[in-house]
Amino acid sequence: MNQIIFAIALFITLGIFGFTTWRYVRLFMLTKPAFPVRNFGKRFGLMMKVAIGQTKMFRRPILGFIHALVFWGFLVILMGSIEMVIDGLFGFERSLAFLGWFYDFMMGTGDIFALIIGVAILVFLSRRLFMHVKRFEGIEMKHISHIDANVALTIIFLLMVSLLGLNATYVAKQTLVNAEIHGIFPIGALISQLFSGMPIETIHIYHEISWWSHILLIFIFANLLPYSKHFHVFMSVPNVFLSRLEPLGKLTNMDSVTREVKLMMDPETAYAAAPADATVERFGVLDAEDASWKNYLDSLACTECGRCTEVCPANITGKKLSPRKVMMDLRARMKEKRNGLLKEGKEFTDGKSLIRDYISEEELWACTTCNACAQECPINIDHPKFIIDMRRYLVMEEGSAPGELKATFSNIENNGAPWQYSPDDRLLWAEDLEMNKV
């Protein structure tokens, strides 16, 4: 009966998760191309350094180390979760014990990490509930965002409590019946003393409660994550692997614009290189579906930690720009249009757009493209690239820009330089100067 119930729960979990994943895949298919994914060796090294090694988190040594411990602990505990799925389906107990010393090491490390993660989550919750952390605030941080974070942290804490309870009751049960204990559980062995003197039936009930609580919380959490800010648990590692490898600040040229320039410079070569059915796409980004797949991946991977906004010089000086808000707005806008886009494709419109309805022109033009946000982001989100693409739409599609920039554009068009003087008059300022010959 337990196997049947578990199989049903697993089937429902995988079904819901598969449905959610397919919806996200379809949304990614509606976005624009970003860049070809090459240099897999370099990408793997970057992933191991930034995502697995958590190197950017250590810029704040204490909190960074605590967060890294939580992340590494989840990687270790993952093995135990896989074992529980196998046990639940086939009615085994400790099915991976045949791995010997490696199993002992992983179970012992996971047992210790369960305690460390539980304590760390209490620290994180205390900071959110009782301390005023400036980077956790902002116009984009709605009340629901704080509830979302607190719920996710609470579930993680309950996962660790149930895991420690599972290990402790397992040790107590095996010890009481003089059976072999598969694995090493230093923390579980200490907690198991609380169950000494209890009948085996009672310990078994506690063990079953802990086992089912832990696995069902995993199933629930896995399907809550795609709708939570903690989606970065799944998306951060792929996002780092798929980072742009070019130096920060390098802006790519638009293929359609490059083609037009080549047509002017060398028509014959350009016509030969251009595809016969080349269509003119929208310049830049107006709405969510105009973003590239990497922009959308960035928005889903965003942890809302606020490190980007905290170092943004525009935000520091009181301007409206918040790099975190830009990513959150893209995610929110895609979510708002999701059902319509999935039904009607890119032709769907609801009369609104990402620019102006979510992100104002003032925010976009406040960006200095210093790339401090991208440098600080722990999962390599490239905020300036996305902001530049929205600026491109404003300038190239609407001719909209601050007055100073419009004057500069006009001068470049008329005079071939940013200044208001014609090329013939540029040296007039030096006519009456006396220069000594050296």
Q: SS3 string of the chain?
A: CHHHHHHHHHHHHHHHHHHHHHHHHHHHHHCECCCCCCCHHHHHHHHHHHHHCCHHHHHCHHHHHHHHHHHHHHHHHHHHHHHHHHHHHHCCCCCCHHHCHHHHHHHHHHHHHHHHHHHHHHHHHHHHHHCCCHHHCCCCCCHHHHHHHHHHHHHHHHHHHHHHHHHHHHHHHHHHCCCCCCCCCHHHHHHHHHHCCCCHHHHHHHHHHHHHHHHHHHHHHHHHHHHCHHHHHHHHHHHHHCCCCCCCCCCCCCHHHHHHHHHHHCHHHHHHHCCCCCCCCCCCCCCHHHCEHHHHHHHHHCCCCCHHHHHCHHHHCCCCCCHHHHHHHHHHHHHHHHHHHHHHHHHCCCCCCHHHHCECHHHHHHCCCCCHHHHHCCCCCCHHHHHHHHHHHHHHHHCCCCHHHHHHHHHHHHHCCCCCCCHHHCCHHHCCCCCCCC
Q: Are residues 219 and 299 in the same domain?
A: no
Above 60 in pLDDT, residue 348? Answer: yes
Above 60 in pLDDT, residue 15? Answer: yes
Average pLDDT over residues 151-163: 95
Last residue of a domain, one of 193, 208, 232: 232
> How far is residue 309's CA from residue 297's CA, in Å, rounded to a whole number?
19
- For residue 280, the model assigns a pLDDT of 60
pLDDT band at 2 (very low <50, low <70, confident <90, very high): confident
Q: Are residues 43 and 139 in the same domain?
A: yes
> How far is residue 342's CA from residue 322's CA, in Å, rounded to a whole number?
29
Residue type, 125: L
Q: Are residues 220 and 346 in the same domain?
A: no
Query: Would you say residue 366 lies in a domain?
Result: yes
Query: Would you say residue 243 lies in a domain?
Result: no
Q: Are residues 51 and 118 in the same domain?
A: yes
> How far is residue 2's CA from residue 212's CA, in Å, rounded to a whole number?
10
pLDDT tens digits, 88-130? 999 888 999 999 999 999 999 999 999 999 999 999 999 988 8
Query: Would you say residue 319 lies in a domain?
Result: yes
- For residue 420, the model assigns a pLDDT of 81
Q: Are residues 187 and 291 in the same domain?
A: no
Query: Would you say residue 433 lies in a domain?
Result: no
- For residue 406, the model assigns a pLDDT of 85
pLDDT band at 138 (very low <50, low <70, confident <90, very high): confident
Q: How many domains does the chain have?
A: 2
Query: Would you say residue 268 lies in a domain?
Result: no
Q: Are residues 228 and 361 in the same domain?
A: no
Q: Are residues 63 and 212 in the same domain?
A: yes
- For residue 427, the model assigns a pLDDT of 79
Lowest mean pLDDT among 71-80, 133-142, 186-195, 329-338: 133-142
pLDDT tens digits, 392-420? 999 989 888 888 888 888 888 888 888 88
pLDDT tens digits, 361-404? 999 999 999 999 999 999 999 999 999 999 999 998 988 888 88
Q: CB within 8 A of 142, min separation 6: which ones?
A: none
pLDDT tens digits, 49-72? 999 999 999 988 998 999 999 999
Average pLDDT over residues 281-302: 92
Last residue of a domain, one of 169, 201, 232: 232
Q: What percentage of the chain exceeds 70 in pLDDT?
A: 96
- For residue 279, the model assigns a pLDDT of 59
> How far is residue 97's CA from residue 198's CA, in Å, rounded to a whole number?
27
Q: Are residues 169 and 100 in the same domain?
A: yes
- Give the domain extent around 29: 2-232
- For residue 187, the model assigns a pLDDT of 96
Q: Are residues 293 and 170 in the same domain?
A: no
pLDDT tens digits, 232-281? 889 999 999 999 999 988 888 887 778 777 777 777 665 555 555 555 67
- For residue 275, the model assigns a pLDDT of 56
Query: Would you say residue 249 lies in a domain?
Result: no
Tell me, what CATH number does 396's domain have?
1.10.1060
